[in-house]
Structure 1
Amino acid sequence: MEGLLRGISLTPAQQAQVDSIREHYRSQMPAFTPGSPPDSATREKMREHFRHMTEDIRAVLSPDQQKVYDKNLAEMRDRRPGGG
């Protein structure tokens, strides 16, 4: 997750907003048993939460910061098995 903000200097206000967004989605994340892979429904919910979280974080950023964020997000998706 930190990789998405690589190369972006957040203002204190932005950092507070990002922290709040992360905490909100962390508390909403569906539970699964550690040590075993989540089932397909849980994986889909996790993907949906991640998508909403990345959109909310992106909305906090300036247009220049959004360009870096979008690049970082694309690189992260490219590294994921199956291309994200």
Structure 2
Amino acid sequence: MKKQKSADKHQLKDGLQSDIKAKLMEMKSQLKEEDEKRQEREKAEQIRKKKEIEKNKSFEELLNERECNINCVSKECVRFLTHTVFYLIE
């Protein structure tokens, strides 16, 4: 009789442990899914903010950015042409 009670307790303990383990695994997957959704929302929000900033830039800001890009490209072109001319002269 004592052995039977011990075996029953052991089965109950094992059953509870497997139930708890299953619940923990389910919670873990739910948390992972929630975290992925949160990251997606944050990324979408960053993209939206960036688009909003671009949309609200003034003409002057856009012009300044374009001039900066042109100046950078122009400087690179001048360097390239200078080196090419010196190479051809030699």
Q: What is the TM-score normalised by the length of structure 2?
A: 0.28
Q: Rg larger in 1 or in 2? A: 2
Q: What is the TM-score normalised by the length of structure 1?
A: 0.30
